Structures are given as structure tokens and as C-alpha cells.
């Protein structure tokens, strides 16, 4: 029984955002098995279908049907899997093989691919690894080598060089990665080592390619593509869009006017797309990366020892992908992100809030980030921007935590004192300690609060130590 649907939509626009072409594919899955798919054009007419036929552990068969100009073409795609190779055959209903594609593997790495095309041409691609950084693919047509492709990993990317049968360089492609090992730029050179094309990539934080720009120097033409994939949990829906533009100037304008917010981008297609996708759910890390625009380094420290000792930074503590602390300062303040039941940061307005989350939350849901900064002013600026983008500047906490905190708390006076501490403009925990020292609140009230907040777990807050 089908239990998951995936929808992919590709839209092609003019530079004025006029829709000129659309392809929609509905895919229906049972668990992870693609059972069938239907492809529609811009007029919502079916142009192709695919249907799963069988899988007996050795042979996997799909029926592919295309519709064009009133004609229907049916093909069967069969995939045979053995221990070290995969063979894909495409045949017509009368069993005549049209194409034959065989992949051979060794140690889970592709070593050879053989393709027999409809016209009988036999192409063989032989892959071999030279070392950890270099791979070579040699292509043969009827046993005659026609080209060689060499791929070499370098410190900041990959260089791919294509040679003809005589060993002459045909083209060279340089892929440059960002700090997260994702492609950020590609440069294409011809056989004369002249730059003929370039691509620029931006990312939405999830590793998904969002934009790329390409132009050809000789033709002075270009286009922009925006790839987007969004979805919801459960019965997942994905939407993928492509925007085509012409001209380098328009790309620069596009970057300025188009917000780096996926939900906003989808609204260009109409509100029905938002309803279909159920909104965009990004992780907090992804939101932070978008806000930083790749200008700063985002670190996830494993412990306090991984934090700079005497350097300004922005520090972030989140729970269940929501920011609860976003602040700036040096380690003395930033260490609050590593508070726990037995450790608390003195003099921080969020100390009591963080304690509530640790008392009633789950450790696996906490995430910690820091952004090292060159100055106090820079840290403040980033903190301010992150407050606008991800929050983290309130003292709110989940209602379920509040219910547990105030459960069996006692009389209304005790509730009032605890609420005052929670809303403190300095440090609610330090306020409680001062109230005890100075006898401003009866001990019987404070003892209840001490118990609720488990303050005796903190050495400096043990009841007998606070005098």
C-alpha cells in the first residue's frame, strides 16, 4: 500500500518571472520503494508514467510509458543485481533490447560501465583509482580509446581534466569548495586554457544548491537556476523550482532583491505552494548559516574547553531547534551554553531559564554554537541580527515545563516569588540567593523554590552555604 507521496515541480521563467515551461512529477512510494510516477506538462497533460512491476531479489522491472503527439511508447526497464555488478536493460514490449547498460563494481566502487545503444554502438567506460586523491576514467568506442577524464581532489576543491585520444587537453573544470566542503564556484576552461564559463553556488544551509549562475564568454549569454527542495514530515511533499534568467547584470540584481528565505521564494509561485508544502522547516543551524551569509565561522563546541578563552564571540543555546539563548561576550558569559543541573553561570539573565530547560528537558535536544568575532562591536552586531532572524531574546519556555515547575508549588505567595525570579532583569538565581541572605523572603517559601529548582545540586547554592 502506497504510504508516501513526493511531488517535484520544475518551473522555467523569463527574466520578468513569466512562466514559460513547467514539469510536474508525482511519485508514489511504499516505504522507500518507488511504485509509480506520473509526469505532467504545463497544461497538466500526462506526458509519461512509470510503474513498478516486480522485484524478486535478482531482477527489478519497471514499465515506462511516454505520450507524445498522440502516440504512446512503452518500454520495459530491467535491472539485474549480482554480487559485483548491476545491469540495466531497456526493451520494447516485444522483448527486443534497445539499450544495455552494465555497471561492474569492486569493493563498492565502480570499475567499468558498458553501454550498448540502439544503433549498436558499444561504449565502455573504465574507471580506476590512482591514489586517494586521483581517479581516471577512460572511454572506449568499439575498443578504441576516445577520451580520458582525470579527476584530482585538491585542498579546496577538485580539478577535472578531459583529454582526447592523443592525450591533448580538451577542457579543464575547476570546482572550488567552501568551508563545509560544498561546491561554491566552478570555472570552465577550453583546450587553450581560456576561461569560457563560470558557475556560482549559494546554499540554504542544508547542503542543497539554491542558486547557480553560468555564462559563456564567447556568446555573452547566461542564465540563473534556482533549485529548491522543501518538505514536511510524514507524507512528504517536495517542491523544486528552476528560474532562468539572461545576463550577468540581472543575476546581481536578483541576489539583491530575492531574500534568502525559502518560504518567501515559494510565494512567487502562489500561496497554494505554501499550502501544499506545509511551510518550510529548517534546522536552527541552517537558519544561522543563512543569516551569517558565509561571512563568519559557525562552531559547534563539544565542551567549554573548545571555547576561546579571551576572545569575543556570539554564543547560542537551542532546544528542539529553537534558540533559547543568543548572546555575545567572552567565555565568562558564553559558558552558560554548557550549564547543567550542577553548574550555573552567575550574573547571567538567562541562567534561571537555562536551568528550567535542563530540569525538564531532554539532553539530546540541546545544541550549542559559537561564532568567534574580532571585536566586541562585531559580536554585538551579529547578536542583534541573529535576534531578528532566530529569536533567543525572550524568557519564554514551553508550557509543559511551566506546568511541571509550578506543580505542587504551594500557596500563591510562593508562585509569585518564583515568577519574579523567572522574570528577573538581572539573574533570577542570584536574586533568590540575595533574598535568602538578607531575609527578604521567608525560608519556608524559598525552601520550596530551592527544591523545585534543585539548587542544592549546585555547590554555591547549597542551602547551608548561602548565608
> For residues 60 and 54, what is the distance between their CA atoms, to the nearest angstrom?
6
Number of C-beta neighbours around residue 70 at 10 A: 5
Grouping H, G, I as helix, E, B as strand and the rest as coil, residue 207 is coil
What residues contact 181, with CB distance under 8 A and at least 6 apart?
A: none
Per-residue model confidence as pLDDT tens for the chain (467 residues): 556 677 666 665 544 455 667 778 888 888 778 899 999 988 889 999 999 999 888 888 999 999 987 788 888 888 887 777 778 788 777 666 667 778 887 777 888 888 887 777 889 999 999 999 999 999 999 889 999 999 999 988 999 999 999 999 999 999 898 777 777 777 888 889 887 766 666 554 443 444 444 333 333 333 334 433 333 333 333 333 433 333 334 333 334 333 333 333 333 332 222 222 233 346 888 888 878 877 899 999 999 999 998 899 999 999 988 899 999 999 999 999 999 999 999 999 999 999 999 999 999 999 999 999 999 999 999 998 898 888 888 888 888 999 999 998 878 889 899 989 998 888 999 999 999 988 899 999 999 999 999 999 999 999 988 87
Grouping H, G, I as helix, E, B as strand and the rest as coil, residue 261 is coil
Grouping H, G, I as helix, E, B as strand and the rest as coil, residue 29 is strand
DSSP 391: B
Least Cα distance to 197 among 185, 187, 209, 182 occurs for: 187
pLDDT the model gives residue 90: 80
Question: Alpha helix locations (H) across 407-459?
Answer: 412-422, 428-437, 443-453
> For residues 265 and 418, what is the distance between their CA atoms, to the nearest angstrom?
44
| The C-alpha cell that represents 24 in the structure block | 510536474
Residue 26's Cα: distance from chain center in Å?
23
Instruction: Quick: pLDDT tens for 335-385.
Output: 999 999 999 999 999 999 999 999 999 999 999 999 999 999 999 999 988
pLDDT the model gives residue 170: 92
The H or E element spanning position 41 is none
> For residues 266 and 262, what is the distance between their CA atoms, to the nearest angstrom?
6
* CB-count burial class (<10 Å; 0-12, 13-18, 19+) for 143: exposed
> For residues 261 and 276, what is the distance between their CA atoms, to the nearest angstrom?
17
pLDDT the model gives residue 128: 92
Contact 6, 238 (CB under 8 A): yes
Identify the bridge partners of residue 117 per DSSP, sorted by sequence position.
none
> For residues 88 and 60, what is the distance between their CA atoms, to the nearest angstrom?
9
Cα distances (Å, whole numbers) of residue 240 to 14, 112, 185: 17, 32, 21
Grouping H, G, I as helix, E, B as strand and the rest as coil, residue 255 is helix
Q: How many CA atoms lie within 13 A of 226 on its CB side?
A: 25
Parallel, antiparallel or unpaired: strands 322-329 and 366-372: unpaired
pLDDT the model gives residue 10: 66
pLDDT the model gives residue 14: 47
Contact 230, 209 (CB under 8 A): no
Number of C-beta neighbours around residue 107 at 10 A: 7
Helix pair 284-292, 376-390: axis angle to 10 deg: 130
DSSP 299: B
In 82-182, at which residue ranges do the beta strands (DSSP E only) sit? 85-91, 97-106, 109-116, 122-129, 134-141, 144-154, 157-164, 169-177
Amino acid at each position: 500500500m502506497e504510504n508516501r507521496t513526493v511531488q517535484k515541480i520544475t518551473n522555467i521563467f523569463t527574466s520578468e518571472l513569466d512562466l514559460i515551461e513547467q514539469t510536474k512529477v508525482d511519485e508514489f512510494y511504499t516505504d522507500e520503494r518507488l511504485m509509480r510516477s506520473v509526469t505532467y506538462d504545463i497544461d497538466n497533460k500526462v506526458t509519461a508514467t512509470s510503474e513498478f512491476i516486480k522485484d524478486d531479489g535478482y531482477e527489478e522491472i519497471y514499465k515506462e510509458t511516454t505520450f507524445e503527439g498522440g502516440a504512446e511508447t512503452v518500454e520495459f526497464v530491467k535491472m539485474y543485481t549480482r554480487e559485483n555488478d548491476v545491469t540495466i536493460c531497456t526493451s520494447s514490449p516485444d522483448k527486443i533490447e534497445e539499450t544495455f547498460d552494465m555497471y561492474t563494481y569492486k569493493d563498492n566502487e565502480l570499475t567499468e560501465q558498458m553501454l550498448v545503444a540502439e544503433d549498436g554502438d558499444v561504449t565502455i567506460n573504465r574507471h580506476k583509482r590512482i591514489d586517494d586523491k586521483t581517479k581516471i576514467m577512460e572511454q572506449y568506442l568499439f575498443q578504441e580509446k576516445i577520451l580520458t577524464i582525470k579527476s584530482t581532489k585538491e585542498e579546496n576543491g577538485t580539478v577535472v581534466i578531459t583529454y582526447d585520444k592523443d592525450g591533448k587537453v580538451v577542457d579543464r573544470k575547476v570546482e572550488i569548495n567552501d568551508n563545509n566542503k560544498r561546491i561554491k564556484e566552478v570555472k570552465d576552461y577550453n583546450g587553450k586554457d581560456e576561461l569560457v564559463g563560470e558557475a556560482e553556488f549559494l546554499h540554504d544551509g542544508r547542503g542543497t544548491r539554491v542558486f547557480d549562475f553560468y555564462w559563456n564568454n564567447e556568446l555573452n549569454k547566461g542564465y540563473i537556476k534556482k533549485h529548491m527542495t522543501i518538505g514536511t514530515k510524514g507524507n512528504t511533499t517536495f517542491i523544486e523550482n528552476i528560474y532562468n534568467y539572461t545576463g550577468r547584470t540581472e543575476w546581481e540584481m536578483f541576489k539583491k532583491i530575492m531574500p534568502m528565505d525559502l518560504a518567501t521564494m515559494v510565494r512567487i509561485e502562489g500561496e497554494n505552494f505554501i499550502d501544499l508544502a506545509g511551510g518550510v522547516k529548517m534546522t536552527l543551524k541552517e537558519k544561522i548559516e543563512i543569516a551569517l551569509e558565509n561571512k563568519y565561522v559557525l562552531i559547534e563546541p563539544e565542551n567549554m574547553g573548545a571555547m576561546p578563552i579571551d576572545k569575543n564571540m556570539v554564543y547560542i543555546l537551542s532546544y528542539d531547534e529553537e534558540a533559547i539563548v543568543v548572546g555575545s561576550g567572552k567565555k565568562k558569559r558564553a559558558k552558560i551554553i554548557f550549564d547543567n543541573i550542577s553548574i550555573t553561570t552567575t550574573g547571567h539573565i538567562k541562567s534561571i531559564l537555562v536551568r528550567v530547560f535542563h530540569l525538564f528537558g531532554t539532553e539530546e535536544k540541546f545544541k550549542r554554537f559559537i561564532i568567534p568575532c574580532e571585536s566586541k562591536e562585531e559580536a554585538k552586531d551579529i547578536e542583534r541580527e541573529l535576534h531578528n532572524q532566530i529569536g533567543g531574546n525572550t524568557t519564554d519556555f514551553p508550557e509543559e515545563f511551566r506546568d511541571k515547575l509550578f506543580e505542587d508549588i504551594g500557596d500563591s505567595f510562593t508562585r509569585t516569588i518564583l515568577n519574579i525570579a523567572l522574570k528577573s532583569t538581572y539573574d533570577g538565581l542570584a536574586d533568590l540567593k540575595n533574598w535568602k541572605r538578607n531575609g527578604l523572603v521567608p525560608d519556608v517559601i524559598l525552601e520550596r523554590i530551592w527544591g523545585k529548582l534543585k539548587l542544592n545540586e549546585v555547590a554555591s547554592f547549597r542551602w547551608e552555604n548561602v548565608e
